Amino acid sequence: MSKKNIKNELIEFHNVLRKEMKKNWKRSLPLDEMLFDRWEKAKFLNFGKKTSIYQHSLIYGNVKVGKNTWIGPFTILDGSGGLEIGSYCSISTGVQIYTHDTVKWAVSGGKHKYEYEKTKIGNCCCLCPNVVVKKGIKVGDHSVIATNSFVNKNIPPYSIAAGNPAEIIGRVVIKKNGKVDFIYSKENKK
């Protein structure tokens, strides 16, 4: 079979998959995301039950993830220093979570060693798109980190944090009936 024939068959196959994806799930994804099961990838990585991770996510080192967690595309999970992500988390598109850095190594001309520190994301957390978490950080349970935030200090449980660097701007309140409220600090309201 010629390269041209293979290419044409792949294009035809891709079109069939795209139509099926659009009809069944009202979305369009890259070919490899349609070919491979993101729950199977999570299972292969020994992540918790019902957790999913997109093919375009990069995983390094020792990463532990709880159950029912969604990890979006284009994420970086650096477990070289030990990374733990809890259950029922949403790790959105483009999130980067680090457990090491090479800053002192680079500026010292290689005289300083790489630095490693365990990072932990608690249960029931939402890291919105493009959040970056520095090595050694702990994000407490039931916390929300806003889009494009840089987290360089620990975030207590039930917190809403935003900014570069991230600051606490509010808190998460979960009522007995299960209703969730976001209460924002007065100084952060505009």
Enter the pTM of the model.
Answer: 0.88
- Look up residue 43 and give its two tokens: 């299972």
Q: Which amino acid is at 108?
A: S
pLDDT band of 21, cuts 50, 70, 90: confident
pLDDT by residue (tens digit) across 28-57?
877 777 777 889 999 999 999 999 999 899
Cα–Cα distance, 90 to 145 (Å, whole number): 10
User: Nearest Cα to 47, choosing from 35, 34, 62?
Assistant: 62
Instruction: Answer yes or no: is pLDDT of 189 > 90.
Output: no
pLDDT greater at residue 19 or residue 90? 90
pLDDT band of 190, cuts 50, 70, 90: very low
- Look up residue 118 and give its two tokens: 């365990």
What pLDDT shows up at residue 27?
A: 77
What pLDDT shows up at residue 187?
A: 59
What pLDDT shows up at residue 92?
A: 98
What pLDDT shows up at residue 13?
A: 85
What pLDDT shows up at residue 173?
A: 97
Strand pairing report for 132-133 and 150-151: parallel
pLDDT by residue (tens digit) across 141-162?
999 999 999 999 999 999 999 9
User: Nearest Cα to 51, choosing from 24, 89, 15?
Assistant: 89
Residue 66: how many CA atoms within 13 Å on its side-chain side? 16
- Residue 139 · residue 123 · CB < 8 Å: no
What pLDDT shows up at residue 188?
A: 54
Q: What rounded mean pLDDT belongs to the chain?
A: 94
Instruction: Burial-class residue 152 by CB neighbours within 10 Å (0-12, 13-18, 19+).
Output: middle
| CA of residue 48 relative to chain centroid, distance | 15
